[in-house]
Chain A
Amino acid sequence: MNKYCKIVILKDDIYDSFIYKKRLYIVTLQKQIIPIDWVEFIKSITPQRNAFPFVVSFTRSDVLYSPQYKIFINDTILRNDLIDSFSALRNLEFSFDSQKLSKFVPPENLWRRIEELPRDIKCAFNQFYLINDNYVAVSKIKYGSTKSRQCLLSPFYCFAKGNFTSMEFVGRDIFFSSQEKGVYMSAYVDEGQYSKELEVVSNHHASYLTNNFSSLTIGSYFKESHILSTVKDAKYSNRTFDSKSLNELFKCNRYDLIFSFHDKIYCANGNTIKMIRYTNKGRKFSNVIEIPIHLNINDKPLSAEVAVFGLIIEFKNKIIVFPSTEDETISIGNENDSIIGWRIFPHSKDYKNQLHVIFKNRIEIWSFNYDYFINQFEKKIGSRNTNYNKP
């Protein structure tokens, strides 16, 4: 049985959202970033019954893997109680308008104003990273901080937080590269400061980037997708990569969608999903495993991500969550209520179980809570939670 619950915040003109270190950030079409004190907000709405699973659902996703709480997973009786209390939250929906949230939002002069609607946002190393048309804007995360500096003056498509202290970018120099070639770039953070040097590590076209520990998957939706496996990763600045075509590994068409995170790489088309397990050490790939799911959607997957709680695949008018328990899928959005965007937070410590879905008039924050109870080393759907130890 799927166990999920959600919080709905009613607000028009939401462009994007991000959750990081106890705050939810809402980016509006009016080019503002509104911070919400998420932990205090959750405290204020936590029900008296099932308070613990509620807090785990929305603010402490990985707490059950910490030494003091592991007993909840390992002890059969406690575990069953916990499953029951997560089940009690199932399908719960909490709805709030901006007014009800106002107590948890600082005054407007402390909201951050941005110059343009960003292509992508990340929060990492206590900083905001905004990919704009021609540069990356970096600024400190704190109330009232308005200064941002432009760095990496180059057009980028997307970026990902690297495994340790790096941010990795996919970009293309539109003025110097040839029409068909993309340039993959990696930049390094050294004690909080950006190295101005960009290392070009691949010239495959790419508009999708994720990491498999210290290796990287780059995907194009247009050309072949590749994995750049680290051959030597003792120091990031000395990394060397071995590039392998994922389309060849999957024996798939170059228009099939390839997506990955950490230990698993997936390939989806309108009918099937296939998976390869990847081990960074020794750069090993398992055989191709067919996932026993039949999409039968007759629609092309447009984009997808891998979370610990499962796979999220976006189609034209909806996204579908394939739970790591291999239970029934969850469909979000439809033709009349279309989705503007969505996000997961796979690098996060406290929000790994969340999926944020933005609609025209609201943001839905979904929390999925079934993944704690399955063997992370054996599951086929979703990435392994790295905090999980073998039983």
Chain B
Amino acid sequence: MSYPFDTPIHTNLGYSYTFVSYHHIKSNPNKSLWVLNQADELQMFLDTIIVNNIVFTETSSFGFNIICNNSQLEIVGHTYTGLPLFIGKFIKKNTCTDWHGYPGNHVANSQDIPPDAILENWISQGVSLRDIKRIKKGKQL
């Protein structure tokens, strides 16, 4: 099933979510690209909501998620130049109700490094301590 780009859809958890075109179609050198298909991206977002890996700030809410199999992180996206990315980041501005997401680049952008509480949840989900340490330090995986 494919969803329209840049138009909010309503999810079965009651949240609205927008698939942003420039995170799927290579067009903007400053934007990362999903390798996940739309269904997997949506599932990753819903899982973020379910496990409550969300941070609230004065202006926005941020969610972070990863896909971990046997302690190995799976690639969820890549940069415009092709560097692999492992963290899904989801954002909602407090002034609106729509969420959207993109593959976070923890190496280039420190705001894509999840806070400690979320990283500790990931340790209990089986993410290796090595990867957690490298994410915290902004180092490539």
List B41-76 residues whose CB lies under 8 Å from chain A. Answer: none
* Stretch from B9-17, B94-102, B125-133 that touches the partner: B125-133
Q: How far is the CA of A208 from the CA of B111 in the complex (A)?
A: 17
- Which of these, A174, A220, A255, A338, contacts B110 with CB under 8 Å? A174
Chain A, Cβ-Cβ closest to B109: A179
Tell me whether B137 and A179 are in contact (CB under 8 A). no
Q: How far is the CA of A117 from the CA of B137 in the complex (A)?
A: 11
Chain A, Cβ-Cβ closest to B105: A222
Q: How far is the CA of A174 from the CA of B130 in the complex (A)?
A: 24
Q: How far is the CA of A222 from the CA of B139 in the complex (A)?
A: 9
- Which of these, B123, B128, B137, contacts A158 with CB under 8 Å? B137
Tell me whether A155 and B110 are in contact (CB under 8 A). yes
Chain A, Cβ-Cβ closest to B71: A338
Tell me whether B107 and A340 are in contact (CB under 8 A). no
For B8, what are the chain A residues with a Cβ–Cβ distance below 8 Å?
Answer: none
Chain A CB within 8 A of B36 CB: no
For B105, what are the chain A residues with a Cβ–Cβ distance below 8 Å?
Answer: 222
Q: How far is the CB of A309 from chain B (nearest CB, A)?
A: 23
Number of interface residues of B (CB under 8 A): 23
Given contacts A205-B108, A222-B108, contact A302 B30 (CB under 8 A): no
Chain A CB within 8 A of B115 CB: yes
Given contacts A155-B110, A207-B138, A302-B140, contact A340 B116 (CB under 8 A): no
Q: How far is the CB of B134 from chain A (nearest CB, A)?
A: 8
Tell me whether B30 and A179 are in contact (CB under 8 A). yes
The 0/1 profile, CB within 8 Å of B marked 1, for residues 176-189 of chain A is 00011000000000
Q: How far is the CB of A93 from chain B (nearest CB, A)?
A: 23
Chain A, Cβ-Cβ closest to B130: A340
- Which of these, A172, A180, A221, A341, contacts B133 with CB under 8 Å? A341
Given contacts A180-B30, A207-B107, A302-B140, contact A29 B129 (CB under 8 A): yes
Tell me whether A119 and B136 are in contact (CB under 8 A). yes
Tell me whether A157 and B30 are in contact (CB under 8 A). no
Q: How far is the CB of A185 from chain B (nearest CB, A)?
A: 13
Chain B CB within 8 A of A303 CB: yes
A interface SS class: loop
Chain A CB within 8 A of B25 CB: no
Chain A CB within 8 A of B39 CB: no
Chain A, Cβ-Cβ closest to B57: A175
- Which of these, A174, A207, A223, contacts B137 with CB under 8 Å? A207
- Which of these, B110, B115, B120, contacts A172 with CB under 8 Å? B110
Q: How far is the CB of B98 from chain A (nearest CB, A)?
A: 21
Tell me whether B139 and A302 are in contact (CB under 8 A). yes
- Which of these, A220, A223, A303, A338, contacts B128 with CB under 8 Å? A338
Q: How far is the CB of A315 from chain B (nearest CB, A)?
A: 12
Given contacts A116-B116, A155-B110, A205-B108, contact A338 B137 (CB under 8 A): no
Q: How far is the CB of B83 from chain A (nearest CB, A)?
A: 7
For A116, what are the chain B residues with a Cβ–Cβ distance below 8 Å?
Answer: 116
Tell me whether A221 and B128 are in contact (CB under 8 A). no
Interchain residue pairs with CB less than 8 A apart (27): A16-B133, A29-B123, A116-B116, A117-B116, A117-B120, A117-B136, A119-B137, A157-B137, A157-B138, A158-B137, A172-B110, A179-B30, A180-B108, A207-B137, A221-B107, A222-B107, A222-B140, A223-B108, A255-B83, A303-B139, A303-B140, A338-B128, A338-B130, A339-B130, A340-B128, A340-B129, A340-B130
Q: Which B residues lie at the A interface, using CB under 8 A?
A: 30, 83, 105, 107-111, 115-116, 120, 123, 128-130, 133-134, 136-141
Q: Which A residues lie at the B interface, using CB under 8 A?
A: 15-16, 29, 116-117, 119-120, 133, 155, 157-158, 172, 174, 179-180, 205, 207-208, 220-223, 255, 302-303, 338-341, 360
